[in-house]
């Protein structure tokens, strides 16, 4: 199968017959959990198969397969368990993996009390993840970049400036640049690097009916870095009171929180909006609100 062909349920069944025959009789259907990195198909009610959308995401899948078994026993909520790993073949040109299906609802419409419960339980999850032993785990500063807690560089400034220009129909560019100037001077991380998920957006959190965290998915970016990277989406998921609950529950100090806010504005905020505004409208609507919320914290209105 050429690398640019979109897989379907027949391709998935063929892969299973060839490499995981004990799973080949399970019903297969496309999941709404498919994202920008992987196609996701359900295998019955308890499993899912993840297939990288491009060669760029093969390393993320390998990362997830490698580290989830080490992390999972230390975490207080459900995460995917690796059930099978497939190799490239004529049916699909990249590696793939079968994982357990983690049940729960995306936290997209929670009321204030539900947000508070999610924030508290997410903070507990972060405390557990960040405390897992990092011995023998390589830190990759060049790979992680800002995720290592480094100060803002001129390169990041150029990204912000370019995004301000590209989003001129959405935000006032001068206001965006002024907000970034007020946010950008963040202290470098001084704490030891720890395990970080790196992508705790709404799409990767699963909630119980009362709002408590039920599970966390998509560990493709997991690694060792600055704990602030796991707080970036606080301004997207939570209102102000719930953000404070998360801040306390996660143990984030002022410096960590300040770094998270700055990176949230420019990374998941401006750059993601610029790159995905035509293809992921629902997500972009949430991130647009997030950027405006962060700017308001430094007394800037973007439009």
Q: Which fold has domain 112-297?
A: Aminoglycoside 3'-phosphotransferase; Chain: A, domain 2 (3.90.1200)
**Burial class of residue 18 (count of CB atoms within 10 Å of its CB; 0-12, 13-18, 19+):** middle
Q: Where are the domains of the chain?
A: 9-100, 112-297
Taking each helix axis from N to C terminus, what angle separates 173-183 and 154-166, rounded to the nearest 10 degrees?
A: 150
Q: Two tokens at 159?
A: 């990204």
Q: 241 with 112: CB under 8 angstroms?
A: yes
Q: What is the 3-state secondary structure (H, E, C) of 65-110?
A: HHHHHHHHHHCCCECCCEEEEECCCCCCCCCEEEEECCCCECCCCC
- What is the rounded distance in angstroms from the CA atom of residue 168 to the CA atom of residue 166? 6
Domains 9-100 and 112-297 share a fold: no
- What is the rounded distance in angstroms from the CA atom of residue 156 to the CA atom of residue 223? 21
Q: Which fold has domain 9-100?
A: Phosphorylase Kinase; domain 1 (3.30.200)
In the chain, what is the straight-line distance between the N-terminal and C-terminal CA atoms, in Å?
A: 47
Quote the Cα angle for 13-218-66, to 5°: 80
105: helix, coil or strand? strand
- Positions in the chain whose pLDDT score sits under 50: 141-142
Q: Two tokens at 63?
A: 């990362």
What is the predicted pLDDT for the residue at 6?
A: 85
What is the predicted pLDDT for the residue at 146?
A: 58
- What is the rounded distance in angstroms from the CA atom of residue 3 to the CA atom of residue 236? 34
- What is the rounded distance in angstroms from the CA atom of residue 293 to the CA atom of residue 176? 12
Dihedral-angle region of residue 111 (phi above 0 means left; psi in -120 to 50 means alpha; beta otherwise)? beta
β-strand pairing of 47-52 with 82-86:
unpaired
What is the predicted pLDDT for the residue at 151?
A: 80
């Amino acid at each position: 199968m050429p690398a640019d062909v979109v897989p379907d349920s027949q391709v998935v069944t063929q892969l299973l017959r060839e490499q995981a025959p004990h799973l080949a009789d399970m019903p297969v259907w496309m999941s709404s959990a498919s994202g920008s990195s992987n196609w996701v198909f359900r295998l019955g009610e308890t499993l899912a198969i993840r297939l990288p959308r491009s060669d760029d995401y093969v390393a993320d899948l390998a990362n997830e397969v490698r580290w989830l078994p080490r992390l999972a026993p230390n975490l207080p909520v459900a995460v995917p368990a690796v059930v099978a790993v497939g190799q490239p073949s004529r049916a699909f040109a990249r590696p793939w993996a079968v994982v357990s299906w983690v049940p729960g609802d995306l936290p997209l419409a929670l009321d204030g009390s539900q947000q508070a419960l999610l924030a508290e339980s997410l903070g507990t999850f972060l405390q557990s993840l960040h405390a897992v032993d990092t011995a023998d785990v390589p830190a990759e500063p060049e790979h992680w970049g800002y995720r290592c807690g480094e100060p803002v560089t001129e390169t990041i400034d150029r990204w912000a400036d370019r995004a301000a220009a590209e989003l001129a129909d959405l935000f006032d560019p001068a206001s965006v640049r002024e907000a970034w100037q007020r946010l950008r001077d963040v202290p470098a991380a001084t704490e030891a690097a720890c395990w970080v998920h790196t992508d705790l957006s709404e799409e990767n959190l699963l909630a119980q009916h009362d709002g408590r965290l039920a599970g966390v998915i998509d560990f493709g970016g997991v690694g060792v870095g600055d704990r602030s990277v796991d707080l970036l989406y606080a301004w997207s998921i939570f209102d102000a009171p719930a953000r404070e609950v998360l801040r306390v529950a996660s143990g984030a100090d002022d410096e960590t929180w300040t770094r998270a806010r700055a990176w949230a504005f420019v990374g998941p905020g401006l750059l993601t909006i610029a790159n995905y505004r035509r293809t992921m409208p629902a997500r972009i609507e949430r991130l647009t609100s997030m950027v405006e919320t962060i700017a308001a914290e430094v007394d800037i209105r973007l439009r």
